[in-house]
Structure 1
């Protein structure tokens, strides 16, 4: 679960504080586990600062705190403060930006150069709803087989057109472009360039992984481009 620490302090020596923090970042390069850091200054009190530091998990935050460089910098930071800083530890229970990034990574893995594992993107019992399938795909192995079928039939890519997040849901409107290079539902490779549009809604867990997905896309239009409907009409 993503972890955030709020550091609340007061100092009239802001320039020195900034130089100290720059030194900390430089000294811990390659070892610091924080993924994002923001410092805000109170508009009504220029001596009041709040630093927001994000970590992948509480454990990673503790690993960062245990670095010898962190302890040394902390003592120097206290010396620059007008009073002892306070710390607030927060487990993140909702992060819409994280969810959008995870959904983006999902589409990148599906169409990436390597066979996707989804280990860092999906939970183990991920549930996938696709109206074109008679049964839902449940679990990592099932979705890997489903994606493998598409990858064996097409060289393709996704273009994300729009993405919106609300609560634990992310909606992605996408365009899919591909070249038919292998058997697809009994249709031998045609070499045709094809495309379709669609939307996917993902439900995410608090740690940023995807638990469930719902798909809507123009599969009928794809079959028409492949010539499958012409065969039926004849």
Structure 2
């Protein structure tokens, strides 16, 4: 179970403390067990800092504490504090990757039969869509909605999400798209064919959680081949 430790301290010598932390990161390379660390400053008190350190488990946190560099650096950090730091040990019982959840809902909404106005909860008005299959990027919520309506009019489709990687304000989603060709698609009349393609999408999210930018990579050529659009070129 993921374990998180909160270290609460007060110091007027944060720059020196920051350099000590850089030293610890350098000296424990390949041996430290912390998977993520964040240091935040209190907006209302410039001397108040909270460090949030994440570990795979409590046992891994104890291994990290047992490193000789950790003990030495900690004693030096304490010397820079105005008072003794306090520690809060937390077992994580819920871990929401909110941006990844938003991206997943985005794909579910695209493939649904409901009103596209529901995308307004997920996508910002200034959304910018980068699709190499289009001559021009779709910029703005209305342009993106028109793009989705084109695909909905041509296919009954759904996405299978294979994996997602979230880092900072970006979410990368690897997916497979499966559809039935039920309407005109760039001059190709409905054929009833079952078609599929794979792809990857990177979304950038705003602090409010809505998606503001998207980059698409998918097998458009393979899709056109399945629809028979390349047959004439092969003859």
Supply the RMSD in Å over aligned alpha carbons.
2.6
**SS class of match (1:134):** coil
Q: Measure the CA separation in 1 of the matches of 2:116 and 2:101.
A: 17
1:25-174 counterparts in 2 under 5 A? 97-117=97-117, 118-174=119-175
Asked whether the 8 Å contact 1:128–1:212 carries over to 2, the reply is yes
> Deviation per CA, 1:83-116, whole angstroms, max 9, x where unpaired?
xxxxxxxxxxxx9711001000100110012132
Tell me which residue corresponds to 2:220.
219
User: Given that residues 96 and 168 in structure 1 are in contact (C-alpha distance below 8 angstroms), is that contact kept between their aligned partners in structure 2?
Assistant: no
Q: Note if contact 1:96-1:167 (Cα within 8 Å) is conserved in structure 2.
A: no
TM-fit CA distance, 1:155: 0.3
Residue 175 of structure 1 aligns to a residue whose secondary structure is strand
Which residue is 2:208 aligned to? 207
SS of 1:220's partner is helix
Q: Please give the alpha-carbon distance, in whole angstroms, between the structure 2 residues aligned to 1:188 and 1:215.
A: 25
The secondary structure found in structure 1 opposite 2:120 is coil
Give TM-score, length-normalised by structure 1. Answer: 0.59
Question: Which consecutive residues of structure 2, in runs of 5 or more, have no partner in the other structure?
Answer: 1-87
Quote the residue 2:80 is aligned against: none
CA distance in structure 2 between the aligned counterparts of 1:231 and 1:124, rounded to whole angstroms:
41
Misfit runs of 4+, over 3 Å? none
Gaps of 5+ in 1: 1-47, 53-94
1:159 and 1:175 in contact (8 A); partners too: yes
How many residues are aligned here?
149
How far does the alpha carbon of each residue in 1:95-147 deviate from its partner, in whole angstroms, 9 at most, with x for none? 97110010001001100121322110011010000000000000111000000
